[in-house]
Amino acid sequence: MDYLMGVKGPDFVMICSDSAASHSIISIKKDEDKLIPIDSNKLFGVAGEAGDRVNFSEYIIANVKLYALRNNTELSTKAVANFTRGELAKALRKAPYHCHLLLGGYDKSTGPSLYWMDYLGTLTKLNTGGTGYGSMFVLSLFDKLWHPNLTEAEGLDMMKQGIAEVKRRLVTAPSNYIIKIIDANGIRIVKNWDQDV
Amino acid sequence: AAQLFCTSANMSRRYDSRTTIFSPEGRLYQVEYAMEAISNAGAAMGVLAKDGVVLVAEKKITSKLLDTKAVGVRREKMYKLDDHIACAVAGITADANILINICRLAAQQYHLAYQDPIPVEQLVQSVCDTKQGYTQFGGQRPFGVSLLYAGWDEHYGFQLYQSDPSGNYGGWKAAAIGAGHAAANNVLKTEYKEDITLAEAIPLLVKVLSKAMDTSLSADKMEIATMTKDASGKVVHRIFDSAEMQPFIDAANAEKAATGAAAP
């Protein structure tokens, strides 16, 4: 099952996901990028059913882009989070999107923010959060390690410790992961196990 | 009034009855007639100042028999659309009520989706898109209302917009609608200065209104509203009561008497 973890520092948000794409017992690819940019300073980590992941994230991203074109201004991370939550809630009692999402963004005026959403339309703003079997081992570890003045290096170290814990204790732990960071300079890849960045 | 628009007598009558068709000269007569209706209605004008927006309007319904405590009659011209946007209307009051409701709905729908206040221009655009629909399809007449929108948002600060029955809108530093709007706009063109403050804008607008109205000003014949920020940075919409308006009215009436400005 998809592993997603996110961590927020005073001037950055870091999100990690596994990069395995499998179909039952078959591994389709090990370099699937599940951290999808929404615009230059926000991204989605999307976990859940394969078709819904792509369909839903593309739908949200298209609407965010349309807003920016129509109104000559970008939506804030909070606005995108609430809009996304609204779409999940609307679909829930019709044809639910089976996705969990982490939304990380950096706004010039308000700084970094991390939001957690699930397929029911739950939305919450967090300092650390995640989904998947792996997150069961890692959430409490992050509770212990997080502090308000987290540096980027500490954030990366937290992610690495989390991945190590998943590999140690989860029977079907994915082998490869990808970690991205969003800060005042935008989005960049911090570590990609497959490419050893 | 139809005669004024004809090139040959009564030819235009053939193109009047359906709102959604062009005349041979490429005009939409129903839209123009709607604007004519508005130019007979009570004046409204606004000025965008550095530190806020002020709207001033002339009330046409001023009977002694009006129960001014009843909600429906307390406000004739000034309405709040959301916590950060207000408007003044000129034209057919019943039409205005529909549009005001549409504006309020649009503002709340945006807030429901994004948990953020609607940017002022987006609200104006959305109601103008609705107004435009009535000039193109459906066979229904356009709304006989022009609006002045005053608001604040984090993207562009204080803003003043004006929309008319065609669904067109513009952003303005100063604007006037309703009776005498052409003359009022001329005065505003000469008297408006960049970096005008609200404290300067209010007496200016009251003076312009007094020139546009036939009778002398009094508190029961006009409304003043401002859009400002309080000390904590919160956007505040205030409609002046009679006591607050009186000093501005007195000053304008005194100036009118002093300059001997009697409209011929």
Residues of B in contact with A89 (CB under 8 A): none
Record: contact A78-B119, CB cut-off 8 A: no
CA distance A1 to chain B (A): 30
Look up tokens 């006989």; give the residue: B144
Record: contact A109-B112, CB cut-off 8 A: no
Q: Write the CA distances from B147 to A14, A118, B171, B226, integer angstroms.
A: 47, 43, 12, 15
What is the sign, positive or negative, of the torsion defined by CA atoms of B129, B135, B141, B146?
Answer: positive
Residue among B80, B88, B91 at smallest CA distance from B44? B88
Q: What is the mean pLDDT of residues A76-89?
A: 97
Q: What is the mean pLDDT of residues B112-136?
A: 95
Q: What is the mean pLDDT of residues A141-145?
A: 96
Q: How far apart are CA B245 and CA B5, in angstroms?
A: 40
What is the sign, positive or negative, of the torsion defined by CA atoms of B151, B157, B163, B168?
Answer: negative
CA distance B114 to chain A (A): 4
Q: What is the pTM of this model?
A: 0.84
Residues B143, B136 contacting (CB under 8 angstroms): no
Residues of B in contact with A123 (CB under 8 A): none
Record: contact A71-B119, CB cut-off 8 A: yes
Residues of B in contact with A78 (CB under 8 A): 114-116
Residues of A in contact with B122 (CB under 8 A): 71
Whether the CB of B122 is below 8 Å from some CB of chain A: the reply is: yes
Q: What is the mean pLDDT of residues A82-101?
A: 96
pLDDT band for position A169 (cuts 50, 70, 90): very high
Whether the CB of A103 is below 8 Å from some CB of chain B: the reply is: no
Q: What is the mean pLDDT of residues A16-22?
A: 93
Query: What integer best gives the mean pLDDT of chain B?
Result: 88
pLDDT at residue B70 in the model: 62
Whether the CB of B233 is below 8 Å from some CB of chain A: the reply is: no
B237 C-beta neighbours (distance < 10 Å), count: 22
Whether the CB of B119 is below 8 Å from some CB of chain A: the reply is: yes
Record: contact A86-B154, CB cut-off 8 A: no
Please determine, for residue B154, whether its predicted confidence score (pLDDT) is greater than 80.
Answer: yes
Residues B213, B261 contacting (CB under 8 angstroms): no
* Substitution target from B109, B115, B122, B126 for chain A, most A beta carbons within 10 A: B115
Minimum Cα–Cα distance from B123: chain A residue: A71
pLDDT at residue B192 in the model: 94
Please determine, for residue B3, whether its predicted confidence score (pLDDT) is greater than 50.
Answer: no
Q: Averaging pLDDT over each range in A40-44, B5-9, B258-262, which range is the top one?
A: A40-44
Residue among B31, B37, B39 at smallest CA distance from B141? B31
Q: Give Dmax over CA atoms of chain B in angstroms.
A: 62
Residues A15, A115 contacting (CB under 8 angstroms): no
CA distance A83 to chain B (A): 5
Please determine, for residue B2, whether its predicted confidence score (pLDDT) is greater than 50.
Answer: no
| Angle, alpha carbons B241-B243-B245 (nearest 5°) | 70
* Substitution target from B116, B120, B153 for chain A, most A beta carbons within 10 A: B116
Whether the CB of A72 is below 8 Å from some CB of chain B: the reply is: no
Residues A191, A178 contacting (CB under 8 angstroms): yes
Residues B58, B209 contacting (CB under 8 angstroms): yes
What SS3 class is residue A157? helix
Whether the CB of A83 is below 8 Å from some CB of chain B: the reply is: yes
CA distance B171 to chain A (A): 15
- HEC string of chain B equals CHHHHCCCCCHHHHHCCCCCCCCCCCCCHHHHHHHHHHCCCCCEEEEEECCEEEEEEECCCCCCCCCCCCHHHHCCCEEEEECCEEEEEEECHHHHHHHHHHHHHHHHHHHHHHCCCCCHHHHHHHHHHHHHHHHHCCCCCCCCEEEEEEEEECCCEEEEEEECCCCCEEECCEEEECCCHHHHHHHHHHHCCCCCCHHHHHHHHHHHHHHHCCCCCCHHHEEEEEEEECCCCCEEEEECCHHHHHHHHHHHHHHHHHCCCCCC
Residues B213, B43 contacting (CB under 8 angstroms): yes
Residues A67, A85 contacting (CB under 8 angstroms): no
pLDDT at residue B16 in the model: 63
Contact map slice: B 15-54 vs A, CB within 8 A? none
pLDDT at residue A57 in the model: 95
Minimum Cα–Cα distance from A70: chain B residue: B122
The 10 Å CB-count burial string (b at 16+, else e) for B17-36 is eebbeebeeeebbbbbbbbb
ipTM of the complex: 0.78
Whether the CB of B116 is below 8 Å from some CB of chain A: the reply is: yes
Please determine, for residue A182, whether its predicted confidence score (pLDDT) is greater than 80.
Answer: yes
Record: contact B113-A82, CB cut-off 8 A: yes
Q: What is the mean pLDDT of residues A160-181?
A: 94
Look up tokens 């809009």; give the residue: A83
Contact map slice: A 105-134 vs B, CB within 8 A? 109
Whether the CB of B189 is below 8 Å from some CB of chain A: the reply is: no
Residue among B173, B223, B168 at smallest CA distance from B35? B168
Q: What is the mean pLDDT of residues B216-222?
A: 87
Q: What is the mean pLDDT of residues B206-226?
A: 88
Whether the CB of A89 is below 8 Å from some CB of chain B: the reply is: no
Look up tokens 């904590």; give the residue: B232
CA distance A70 to chain B (A): 9
pLDDT band for position A50 (cuts 50, 70, 90): confident
Helix axes B242-258, B198-212, angle to 10 degrees: 60
Q: What is the percent of chain A where pLDDT is above 70?
A: 98
Residue among B117, B85, B103, B96 at smallest CA distance from B237? B85
Q: How far apart are CA B71 and CA B246, in angstroms?
A: 23
